[in-house]
A and B are shown apart, each in its own frame.
Chain A
Amino acid sequence: MSEMKEMIVNVVEKIFKDKVDKEKVDVVEEGKWAEDVWQVLQDNEMLAVAVSEENGGAGGDLDDLLNLYRLIGKYAVPIPFVETTFANVLLEKTGLNVTQEKATYAVEEQLNVSIDNGTVSGTIVNVPWARYVDELVVVAAGTSGLELVQVSLKDAAISPNMNLACEPRDTVTLVHAPVQQQTKITNEQLEYFIALESAAKSAAMSGAIDKAYELTVRYTKEREQFGRPIHRFQLVQQHLANLAGEAVITSSAIDNMIASIAQKCLQNEVAYTRIRIEEAAKIVAASAHQVHAAIGVTHEHSLHQYTRRLWSWREEGAGEAYWTKQLANRLMEVEDDSLWGYLTRTEKVFQL
């Protein structure tokens, strides 16, 4: 990371440390809106990271944004930061106008809405934060192919729902909602957006993995049993070693994935990262809870704010099932039985 990038990450981390604690996340889970967290990010222009300066943004890159998403996981930040910033990535990358409003998105293989005469209709489930935000960016079936469209959620019927972490995941029903703006996109663009979205979730999950690991290390130092801190027990040490391994592999996977995205030479990095992180999430959540024992499964303890996010986020966007299918298709095309050549191939695949 460049110094500039490091600075952005440090500033935002400090904001989250100050503003987002266990109680704040609890309150949001009960259905409140964390205006102070939103406001401070807006004041610091962090909502416009990765939007170019000519479009009124702060002029960062996608890699800055992905590094910030790690912090969303690490602090269980209860606002639609990923959603608003990613919606603007979609808008800007397709040449549409970015929005200054709070926004969310729905980017999936399966198309749930269609365009008819300048209006959008259909029902989309699991839309993050819909009830709290103003705009929705969604991929719709047009009369001649795919369209990326923006609609106002004032024109939608929203039925509140939530994921395992009590984050808003609403059902949005559109009946002839007027299109704010729209543009044609190709199948390849949709695939790329699905990959980026999956990368965003992986980044957020890696932050939650880091935090669950950190909490566990800290707990083994504080908690005493049989007259000594529990990190002195070899079976607990094995948990710590496994957790450290998953945390370090996850973090290095994200670094490498972000580097590939930044250099615009993505091959299978998003797929490998997401599959590996889902595996890490399973191992880390189980092991962190086992080490924390009973206290870790109480609502009072903060561990569940991270493990419930891991269990929720792994089900969202393109996950292991999607990526193993993609990889299997690609591996079927590997020439001359040379897996090693494939894994180390040198030609760069540029994406958009």
Chain B
Amino acid sequence: MFSLPTVQFTDEQEQFRLEVRAFLQEHLAKGTFKTKCDSWLSGSDPAFSKLIGEQGWIGLTWPKKYGGQERSTIDRYILTEEFLAVGAPVAAHWFADRQTGPLLMRFGTEEQREFFLPKIVKGECYFGIGLSEPNSGSDLASVKTRAEKVDGGWIINGSKTWTSNAHDAHYAVTLIRTEPLGEKKHDGLSQLIIDLHAEGVTIVPIKYLTGEHHFNEVFFDNVFVPDNMVVGTLGNGWKQGLAELAFERSGPERILSTFPLLDELIAGLKRQGDAAGMKEASKVLSRLWGLRNLSIGVAKVLEEGGEVAIPAALVKSIGTKFEQSIPEITRLLVRTYPRLEAERRIDRFMAESTLHAPGFTIRGGTSEVLYGMVAKGVVGQ
């Protein structure tokens, strides 16, 4: 069995939570942003990201010399929870904060850190993550996008797909084949930072089923990438990428994407004095509590550098199912008229949750891939 630590928040951490909450409530009241379900992926607002950057709330855990605050992983966890609970539009800087920063801290060169991290921290520099390709979704390692060595750098040809917010991003950390395909497809892959405004890069929107623009196909036609934009070791891209996945899969965004709807549901049941409905809804809170313990436990182990690939995969596979269940439970307990443009919050949240739900168990590794990973892990133990 995997034993995870329990975490008790310190008084300072509780205080920090209230500080973040007060800031967000103030801006919500001012109309700086509007609460939205699934805001971490579909709520891209560069102005809001800059505001968050000014607070020092991007790269919270990073070293001060790069503009970070050197706060703990648990502090960042609290911050993220507060953003998600109120449905704040944090998508623009999301990947840079969650993945690119930690990646550069671990594998990047000093030059890369000094160049990118201070910009990310200010909320002015956004990253996309270039993993999937048109013919490789779950089979991530079957990468065809290739890099050819030239003087001073690499020439990239190929394409990436499902790249969230590439249209708002400045760069993308991209998994590319830098050596010809050998016996093992996981070998010969490298992570390169591609300037999305470079010559030869074309970003084509892929409209989500609602018509919204979140993800993209990104084409590379003889794009030049200088040598100093290689992250870590050439040929080690697969392993480096895997290290990111535990961070990507275990955070509160795998539990709270539909929390604003749950909040409205409880408020609605209270207004109606519906005790029987409230009993049903209270079961949801016990599931939320269970998942939250697990997710925080994983965050704690990650901070200490421990191995948590399997519990992280479990947070994602169970957490995203939980997120999907909220609209299904809500519709049985209160009457709603789901409309994306609705005035009534519960109708709008219901529409956002229902229409975005199918993606929860797909993005960041489908549940089926995760089940396979977990099963192989527990059988091997």
Contact = CB atoms under 8 A, between A and B. Distances in A.
Contacts of A341: 21
B279 interface: yes
Interface stretch (A44-52, A89-97, A270-278): A270-278
Contact of A331 (B266, B317, B374, B375): B266
Contacts of A100: none
A344 B297 CA distance: 16
Contact of B86 (A217, A242, A340): A340
A104 interface: no
A332 B293 contact: no
Interface string B258-288: 0100110011011001010011111101111
B372 A339 contact: no
Interface stretch (A118-126, A178-186, A244-252): A244-252
Given A234-B372, A334-B270, A344-B17, A248 B283 contact: no
B267 A240 contact: no
Contacts of A256: 6, 293
A217 B376 CA distance: 10
B291 interface: yes
B contacts with A: majority SS = helix
B43 interface: no
Among B17, B281, B282, the most chain A Cβ lie within 10 Å of the Cβ of B282
Given A220-B379, A240-B375, A328 B370 contact: no
Contact of A332 (B273, B310, B372, B376): B273
Interface string B1-25: 1111010110000100110010000
B60 interface: no
Contact of B3 (A238, A251, A339): A251
Given A245-B317, A325-B279, A251 B1 contact: yes
Given A240-B378, A245-B374, A255 B6 contact: yes
B1 A332 contact: no
B318 interface: yes
Interface string A186-207: 0000000000000000000000
B266 to A, nearest CB: 5
Contacts of A324: 279-280, 282-283
Contacts of A210: 1
A314 interface: no
Interface residues of A, number: 51
A251 B86 CA distance: 29
B282 A231 contact: no
A344 B288 CA distance: 12
A248 B270 contact: no
Contacts of A144: none
Contact of A259 (B8, B370, B375): B8
B169 interface: no
Interface in A303-323: 320, 323
B115 interface: no
A237 B263 contact: no
B318 A249 contact: yes
Given A247-B1, A331-B266, A337-B267, A240 B379 contact: yes
Nearest to B287: A276
B285 A343 contact: yes
A276 B8 CA distance: 20
Nearest to A246: B318
Interface in A254-272: 255-256, 259, 263, 268-269, 271-272
A2 interface: no
Nearest to B86: A340
Contacts of B262: 339
Nearest to B373: A241
A275 B379 CA distance: 29
A332 B268 CA distance: 10
A236 B376 CA distance: 11
B85 interface: yes
A175 interface: no
Nearest to B13: A346
A197 B329 CA distance: 30
Interface of B: 1-4, 6, 8-9, 14, 17-18, 21, 81, 85-86, 259, 262-263, 266-267, 269-270, 273, 275, 278-283, 285-291, 293-294, 297, 310-311, 314, 317-318, 368, 370-372, 374-379, 381
26 contacts: A237-B371, A238-B375, A241-B314, A244-B377, A244-B378, A248-B2, A249-B293, A252-B290, A255-B4, A255-B6, A263-B8, A268-B285, A269-B289, A272-B286, A273-B286, A275-B283, A276-B290, A279-B286, A325-B279, A327-B279, A331-B269, A337-B267, A339-B262, A341-B21, A343-B288, A346-B14
